[in-house]
A = this chain, B = another copy of it.
Amino acid sequence: MSDCLKDAPIGVFDSGFGGLTVVREIMRQIPNEKIVYFGDTARVPYGSKSKETVTRFSRQITHFLQTQNVKTIVVACNTASAYALDELEKEIDIPMIGVVKPGAKVAADVTQNGKVGVIATSATIGSEIYTTYIKKLKPEVSVTGKACPLFVPLVEEGLLEDPVTDEIASRYLLELIDIDIDTLILGCTHYPLIRNTIQRVVGEKVTLVNPAYETARELKLLLEEKGILQDKKPDLGENRYQFFVSDGAEKFKTFANSILKYGILSAKTISIEDY
Interface of A with B (CB < 8 Å)? 41-44, 48-50, 52-53, 149-150, 152-154, 156-157, 163-164, 167-168, 246-248, 273
A181 to chain B, nearest CB (A): 23
Query: Which of B150, B167, B248 lies in contact with A153, CB distance below 8 A?
Result: B150
27 interchain pairs, CB-CB under 8 A: A41-B49, A42-B49, A42-B53, A43-B43, A44-B48, A48-B156, A48-B248, A49-B248, A50-B247, A50-B248, A52-B247, A53-B246, A53-B247, A53-B248, A149-B153, A149-B156, A149-B157, A150-B150, A150-B153, A150-B154, A150-B157, A152-B153, A153-B153, A163-B167, A164-B164, A164-B167, A273-B273
Q: Is the CB of B149 within 8 A of A247?
A: no
| Bound Cα distance from A112 to B41, whole angstroms | 41
Summarize A's interface: helix, strand, loop or mixed. Answer: loop
Complex alpha-carbon distance, A43 and B44, angstroms: 7
Nearest B-chain residue to A158, judged by Cβ: B149
In the complex, A156 Cα to B43 Cα: how many Å? 18
Copies in the complex: 2
Closest to A153 in B: B153
Which residue in chain B gives the minimum CB-CB distance to A159? B150
- A19 to B42, alpha carbons, bound, how many Å? 20
4 additional contacts (CB under 8 A) given A41-B49, A48-B156, A49-B248 = A50-B248, A53-B247, A152-B153, A163-B167
Cβ of A24 to closest chain B Cβ, rounded Å:
22
Find chain B residues with CB under 8 A from A48 CB.
44, 156, 248
Which residues on the B side are within 8 Å of A53 (C-beta)?
42, 246-248
Complex contacts, A168 vs chain B, CB 8 Å: 164
**Once the chains are docked, how many angstroms separate the CA of A48 from the CA of B45?**
11
A167 smallest CB distance to B (angstroms) = 6
- Output the least CB separation between A47 and chain B (Å): 11
Closest B residue to A151 using CB positions: B153
Rounded to whole Å, the gap between the CB of A49 and the closest CB of chain B is 5
For A167, the chain B residues whose CB sits under 8 A away are 163-164
A247 to B108 CA separation, bound complex (whole angstroms): 34
B-chain residues with CB within 8 Å of residue A247 when the two chains form the complex: 49-50, 52-53
- Interchain CA distance A273-B156 in the complex, whole Å: 27
Cβ of A156: which chain B residues have Cβ within 8 Å of it? 48, 149
Q: Please report the C-alpha to C-alpha distance between residue A48 and residue B154 in the assembled complex, in whole angstroms.
A: 14
Cα–Cα distance between A154 and B150 once the two chains are bound (Å): 7
A51 CB, nearest partner CB in chain B, Å: 10
